[in-house]
Structure 1
Amino acid sequence: MPHRILVTGATGTVGRQVIAQLLETGVKVRALTREPVDLPPAVEGVRGDLSVPDSLHAAFDGVEAVFLVWPFASAEGLEMVLKLMAETRRVVYLSSAAVRDHERQAERLIGRSVPQWTILRPHAFAANTLRWAEQIRGGGVVREPYGQAAMSLVHERDIAAVAVRALTQDGHAGSVYELTGPQSLTQAEQVRVIGEVIGHPVRWEETSPEDARRQMLARGWPAAAVDGILRAQAEMTLGPAPVTATVEEVTATAARTFRSWAAEHAHAFEAAFPPDQPAGPGLRTTWAEIIDGGL
């Protein structure tokens, strides 16, 4: 087992879970953050920014393995960051099932630069459905396009569990893991499951892609990201989403269902939150994380 592991994206949906599960193994954990944040007492926090390589020397010093989240829509700058990892022998990179151009380029750079690498390609995060929380709390109706878009939503804890195995155990070098939940559900079915879990009917109301695009742009989402999401959702209406057994094969535990995820986060859909509090502990639903979740 590596002596010390660095977690980037430490405050994100998956990064928080990676930290929690690494601590359970007894390994020393270092977290890279751009700003001061509250971390578990056993975690060493280090300030740095992946877009500023000169700020990363302390983060990589003495690290044997890295959980790498590259939060940019371009692989530019990654090669320089990888050069700073010269003493790091193992990297687990959080890519996505969509494998967009910058992710594919990042995968290639990592493959050329790191002795032991593992690529994670998760499908859509179950946590992405938190974007519906306000609509559900406000009236029990979700208004979006492509209700028949099918996804095999994956629990963030399952993504983290695979990452932790790859970071701490041998036998995963050179592997590319496509991660899904155990079943394909359309967006309308996901909404129905949430309603069943919270004990209040929730229904899907179909809207036009044009209306959805205008609303997302008004919220400040980049046009390229908006168009990519809508295009991907349209393609997902063509049939069931693929389902893999990778989570169970790697962790020896079956992948968690979307219903179990919804039960864990039921409070986000049935109770009001203060304006400055996120809908769920450590879970964010920015456009970047939705993209990274494979939508």
Structure 2
Amino acid sequence: MSGQILVTGATGTVGRQVTAQLLEAGVEVRALTRGPAYLPPAVEQVRGDLSVADSLGAAVQGIEAVFLVWPFASAEGLEAVLTMLAEHARQVVYLSSAAIRDHERQAEQLIERSGLEWTILRPHAFAANTLRWAEQIRAEGVVRGPYGQAAMSLVDERDIAAVAVRALTQDGHAGAVHELTGPHSLTQAEQVRVIGEVVGRPVRWAETSVQDARQQMLARGWPAEVVDGILHAQAEMTLGPAPVTATVEEVTASAARTFRSWVAEHAPAFRALT
């Protein structure tokens, strides 16, 4: 490519993998950071803040494309950022989600009208989200929560990144919306069972009431509308298996990684301390 690729969210779950895979592909990577970040030495770190479009001047100079993570619960301010990006870059790959929340839908619409060549990624639930259970599993071998039968097609962050890298470096993805899943639908209870099988100890799901779960999330400071949105989504997931797409394999020519393989690579996080 004639210019660098700018990666936003380069220290995040997906952005870190995008950065690593771009480097493996021999691409020059620039990371937008608000302060010093632990990234590979080959990555050029440039200070800037997506919430302040005027701070992005140095970051966008000479770039060819952008991997865009918009880490805000509103699309406010995105149009100004896209205007600046469009003055320098040719292409944007945006990490949305399969939930397509209101702000994500607004972001997608702004990107489609930005004048940039665009690709949108809509991953389903991240396998990495199960790390929120790690403390319970280490301490008790039990995960407590509502909707144990909520089904999800968990996707490995490396597969999301692999699709992003193909879209950033290869032709054929302009105007594409890629819905990304893992290869299997697993209920939350089944996910917990798989974790136990991999780490070599019994781990079980203990069903709790929706009311208790709601109060616990509110006590952690989560906004009520966010809590209710999560619980409503989980209730809908109990209605049947989660959808599974073949997009990862179609784009990367490699089968999507299984949740079991993801757990095997992160097993120390779930093992009891001795």
Query: Considering the TM-score relative to the shorter chain, is it more than 0.5?
Result: yes
Instruction: Map 1:143-292 onto structure 2 (within 5 A).
Output: 143-272=144-273
- In structure 1, what is the equivalent of residue 30 of structure 2? 30
**TM-superposition CA deviations, 1:32-75 (whole Å, max 9, x none):** 11121111000001111111111111111111100000011111
Secondary structure of the corresponding residue to residue 13 of structure 1: coil
Query: Distance in 1 between the 2:272 and 2:166 partners?
Result: 35
Q: Runs ≥4 in structure 1, deviation > 2 angstroms?
A: none
- Contact 1:90/1:114 (CA < 8 Å) preserved in 2? no
- Once the two structures are TM-superposed, the CA of residue 218 in structure 1 deviates from its matched residue by 1.4
- In structure 2, what is the equivalent of residue 288 of structure 1? none
Query: Distance in 2 between the 1:133 and 1:223 partners?
Result: 25
Q: CA RMSD in A?
A: 1.1
2:6 is equivalent to residue 6 of structure 1: yes
Query: Distance in 2 between the 1:114 and 1:198 partners?
Result: 49
- Once the two structures are TM-superposed, the CA of residue 272 in structure 1 deviates from its matched residue by 4.5
Secondary structure of the corresponding residue to residue 29 of structure 2: strand
- Contact 2:139/2:272 (CA < 8 Å) preserved in 1? no
Query: Distance in 1 between the 2:211 and 2:179 partners?
Result: 31
Instruction: Map 1:17-56 onto structure 2 (within 5 A).
Output: 17-56=17-56
Residue type of the alignment partner of 2:5: I
- Contact 2:82/2:111 (CA < 8 Å) preserved in 1? yes
Secondary structure of the corresponding residue to residue 225 of structure 2: helix
Residue type of the alignment partner of 2:19: I
Residue type of the alignment partner of 1:27: V
Residue type of the alignment partner of 1:18: V
Change (3 A) 1:2 1:146: farther
- Once the two structures are TM-superposed, the CA of residue 2 in structure 1 deviates from its matched residue by 4.7
- In structure 2, what is the equivalent of residue 136 of structure 1? 137
Identical counterparts, % of pairs: 81
Residue type of the alignment partner of 1:14: V
- Once the two structures are TM-superposed, the CA of residue 255 in structure 1 deviates from its matched residue by 0.1
- Once the two structures are TM-superposed, the CA of residue 250 in structure 1 deviates from its matched residue by 0.2
- In structure 2, what is the equivalent of residue 66 of structure 1? 66
- Once the two structures are TM-superposed, the CA of residue 271 in structure 1 deviates from its matched residue by 4.6
- Once the two structures are TM-superposed, the CA of residue 83 in structure 1 deviates from its matched residue by 0.8
Query: Distance in 1 between the 2:11 and 2:273 partners?
Result: 23
- Contact 1:181/1:257 (CA < 8 Å) preserved in 2? yes
Query: Distance in 2 between the 1:227 and 1:260 partners?
Result: 32
Q: Which moved more, 1:106-115 or 1:60-69?
A: 106-115
- Once the two structures are TM-superposed, the CA of residue 222 in structure 1 deviates from its matched residue by 2.1
Query: Distance in 2 between the 1:43 and 1:73 partners?
Result: 28
- In structure 2, what is the equivalent of residue 279 of structure 1? none
TM-score of the aligned structures, taking structure 2 as reference length: 0.98
- Contact 1:2/1:64 (CA < 8 Å) preserved in 2? yes
- Contact 1:158/1:256 (CA < 8 Å) preserved in 2? yes
Residue type of the alignment partner of 1:168: T
Residue type of the alignment partner of 1:200: R
Secondary structure of the corresponding residue to residue 41 of structure 2: coil
Change (3 A) 1:267 1:87: same
Query: Distance in 1 between the 2:272 and 2:196 partners?
Result: 13
Unaligned runs of 5+ in 2: none
Instruction: Map 1:53-132 onto structure 2 (within 5 A).
Output: 53-85=53-85, 86-132=87-133
Unaligned runs of 5+ in 1: 274-295
